[in-house]
Amino acid sequence: AQRVTQPEKLLSVFKGAPVELKCNYSYSGSPELFWYVQYSRQRLQLLLRHISRESIKGFTADLNKGETSFHLKKPFAQEEDSAMYYCAPVTGGGNKLTFGTGTQLKVEL
């Protein structure tokens, strides 16, 4: 069955430490992949998408087809990065996103 896995429910790091939020998928072909973020008391919003190959708020994500992964990385965590992060590939013939269960990132001082 096609699925997306975010193995960590909670990830706690110190400010200034590197961050890696894991995402693995099992979809065939070359899926379009997104990372969404939900900050406290804000709406769920797009963080980045792999096709744009850009860095947003210092975060990057590389699609590794061999490992079927799309891990989200940032070299130096900031306190404002604390949020819930969701990995989401496009599925259903391009009509929908399938969200992972999410990882709560907590950046401690």
**Residue numbers of the site for other proteins (CB under 8 A)?**
6, 9, 32, 34, 36, 43-46, 49, 86, 90, 92-102
Q: Which is nearer to other proteins, 14 or 52 (CB)?
A: 52
List, in order, residues 6 or more apart from 7 with CB less than 8 Å away: 22, 24
How far from the centroid of its chain's Cα atoms is residue 99's Cα? 10
Residue 102, token pair as written in the block:
């999410």
The answer to whether the beta carbons of residues 53 and 63 sit under 8 Å apart is no
